[in-house]
């Protein structure tokens, strides 16, 4: 019987898997999976002041894939202002109310944690 070693990356975490060939059928060997250390969480995006009730915060950890507004834009309640990708799913971030964008704290490609400031509204 031969044992083969494979490197698999899932959600940015590297796993080394040893697979033993059993009569033409491959199955993972028990206790052969080891994970590399988890990546460090993304640094917190700091607001110039404490977030206000109108600010839009990240609802989950992920990667910003789109920012659809810029400072000075008017937004309507429910308008999609950004998209965060997490676990291969796109999560649309909507404006909570009619407002004017005071500032944007993220760019596409940025990693964010839950509750990081995305967009300030006035």
Q: What is the pLDDT of residue 30?
A: 57
Length of the chain: 122
Q: What is the pLDDT of residue 42?
A: 53
Q: What is this structure's pTM?
A: 0.59
CA neighbours closer than 13 Å in the CB half-sphere of residue 13 = 13
Residues 61 and 30 in one domain: no
Q: What is the pLDDT of residue 49?
A: 45
Q: Distance between alpha carbon 21 and the CA centroid of its chain, in Å? A: 36
The DSSP string of 12-49 is TEEEEEEEEEETTEEEEPTT--EEPPPPPPPPPPPPSS
Residues 117 and 61 in one domain: yes
Flag residues of the chain having pLDDT under 50: 45-49
The CATH number assigned to the domain holding 109 equals 2.40.50.100
**Cβ–Cβ under 8 Å, residues 28 and 17:** yes
Q: What is the pLDDT of residue 91?
A: 94
- Report how many domains make up the chain: 2
Angle at 101 between CA 98 and CA 107, to 5 degrees: 130
Q: Tell me the pLDDT tens digit for each residue of 37-56.
A: 655 555 554 444 455 667 99
């Amino acid at each position: 019987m031969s044992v083969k070693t494979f490197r698999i990356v899932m959600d940015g975490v590297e796993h080394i898997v040893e697979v033993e060939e059993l009569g033409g059928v491959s199955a993972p060997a028990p206790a052969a999976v080891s994970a590399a250390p988890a990546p460090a969480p993304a640094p917190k995006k700091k607001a110039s002041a404490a977030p206000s009730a109108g600010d839009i915060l990240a609802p989950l950890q992920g990667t910003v894939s789109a920012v659809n507004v810029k400072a000075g834009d008017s937004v309507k309640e429910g308008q999609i202002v950004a998209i965060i990708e997490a676990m291969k799913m796109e999560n649309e971030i909507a404006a909570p109310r009619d407002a004017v964008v005071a500032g944007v704290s993220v760019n596409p490609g940025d990693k964010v944690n839950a509750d990081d400031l995305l967009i300030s509204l006035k």
